[in-house]
Amino acid sequence: EVQLVQSGAEVKKPGESLKISCKGSGYSFPNYWIGWVRQMPGKGLEWMGIIYPGDSDTRYSPSFQGQVTISADKSISTAYLQWSSLKASDTAIYYCARAGLGGPGAFDYWGQGILVTVSS
């Protein structure tokens, strides 16, 4: 069974750094792109970026380029999303998702989401 299990909820202060994780299982992790999606409170879905764990090829949304870093460690089947200096506006739910279908153009499996709260 394909699963993406994300790390737990985080509460941080502005200016702090953070790295959240997404562990894949039940499939060949290096061979499928993993994307990250933000959902701010009460809002829609925003694509942040995507990584191919096999060679760490990474693409970013222009809106998030330079704001976050996406990485992966294929040896432990885990992808990461990190911030060096959080802002209150980073408060959101962050999902990882496998891009496994359509080219890949579609996210067929999703993690459960991580609520990140940034507040002083």
In angstroms, give the least distance from the CB of 51 to another protein.
Answer: 11
Name which position in 8, 66, 105, 120 contacts another protein (CB under 8 A).
105
Q: How far apart are the first and last CA of the chain?
A: 40
Q: Stretches 12-20, 22-30, 68-76, 106-114: which one binds another protein (CB under 8 A)?
A: 106-114
CB 80 within 8 A of CB 21: yes
Number of residues that bind another protein (CB under 8 A): 24
For residue 47, state whether it binds another protein (rule: CB under 8 A).
yes
β-bridge pairing 92-101 and 33-39: antiparallel
Helix (H, G, I), strand (E, B) or coil at 112: coil
In angstroms, give the least distance from the CB of 11 to another protein.
Answer: 19
**For residue 70, what are the contacts with CB-CB under 8 A and spacing of at least 6?**
36, 48, 49, 50, 51, 58, 60, 79, 80, 81, 82
In angstroms, give the least distance from the CB of 120 to another protein.
Answer: 27
Q: Which residues bind another protein (CB under 8 A)?
A: 35, 37, 44-47, 50, 59, 61-62, 95, 97, 101-108, 110-113
